[in-house]
């Protein structure tokens, strides 16, 4: 069962948006897009380099432009960047153009999953735990505001997390369309 013409995945860094997104796209027969990868293709450099050269504001402008373009397509699973929800126009775009799935993860889960990841520009300096906590305080209410469905983060293998996500999406979609 396809929950919408588009499925948009939001959530914090390290929640599994890309990994689970690929599996959801395969299951629902949709094209998979990762917003950060789309930015890298457009710019020809890693996201970390875009941050280095243009700063966060420059990156966010590119992110908003590509979110608008990618979300206009039909039949996609789009894994957004963790901070894409910061812009009110982005939140409106996500809500209006697809089904929004919020993959949740605690700061402890994020720290564990990102322990060896050195590619995240916003985690490059300072205490990662403090940084992730500060981001969660700002972003969690925004995720909550636009999510059609929240998938709680639990410690499980990606196959189990994907299967659980599919089950919850299908149950939620069936309940909404049975009424």
Q: Look at the block and give the residue holding tokens 């910061």.
A: 86
Annotated binding residues, as ranges?
14-19, 36, 60, 120, 139
Provide the residue range defining the domain that includes 103. Answer: 6-178
Annotated binding residues for ATP, as ranges?
14-19, 120
Annotated binding residues for substrate, as ranges?
36, 60, 139
Whether residue 12 lies inside any domain: the answer is: yes
DSSP state of 175: H
Cα distances (angstroms) measured from residue 48 to each of 27, 37, 51, 153, 165:
31, 12, 5, 26, 30
Per-residue pLDDT of the chain (179 residues; tens, 9 = 90+): 444 589 999 999 888 899 999 999 999 999 999 999 999 999 999 988 888 899 889 999 999 999 999 999 999 999 999 999 999 999 999 999 999 999 988 888 777 766 556 665 555 566 778 888 888 999 999 999 999 999 887 666 777 778 888 888 888 877 777 76
Annotated binding residues for Mg(2+), as ranges?
18
Whether residue 1 lies inside any domain: the answer is: no
Q: What is the pTM of this model?
A: 0.86
Whether residue 11 lies inside any domain: the answer is: yes
Whether residue 61 lies inside any domain: the answer is: yes
Whether residue 65 lies inside any domain: the answer is: yes
Residue 95: which CATH number?
3.40.50.300
């Amino acid at each position: 069962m396809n929950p919408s013409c588009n499925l948009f995945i939001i959530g914090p860094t390290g929640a599994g948006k890309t990994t689970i997104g690929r599996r959801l796209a395969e299951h629902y027969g949709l094209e998979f897009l990762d917003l950060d990868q789309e930015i890298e293709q457009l710019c020809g450099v890693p996201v970390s380099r875009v941050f280095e050269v243009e700063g966060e504001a420059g990156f966010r402008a590119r992110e908003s432009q590509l979110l608008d373009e990618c979300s206009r397509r039909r039949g996609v699973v789009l894994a957004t960047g963790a901070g894409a929800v910061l812009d009110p126009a982005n939140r409106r775009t996500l809500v209006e153009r697809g089904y929004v799935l919020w993959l949740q993860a605690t700061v402890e889960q994020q720290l564990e999953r990102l322990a060896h990841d050195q590619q995240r520009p916003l985690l490059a300096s300072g205490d990662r735990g403090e940084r992730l906590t500060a981001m969660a305080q700002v972003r969690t209410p925004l995720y909550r505001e636009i999510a059609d469905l929240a998938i709680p983060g639990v410690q499980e293998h990606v196959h189990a997390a994907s299967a659980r996500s599919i089950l919850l999406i299908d149950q939620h979609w069936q309940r909404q369309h049975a009424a």
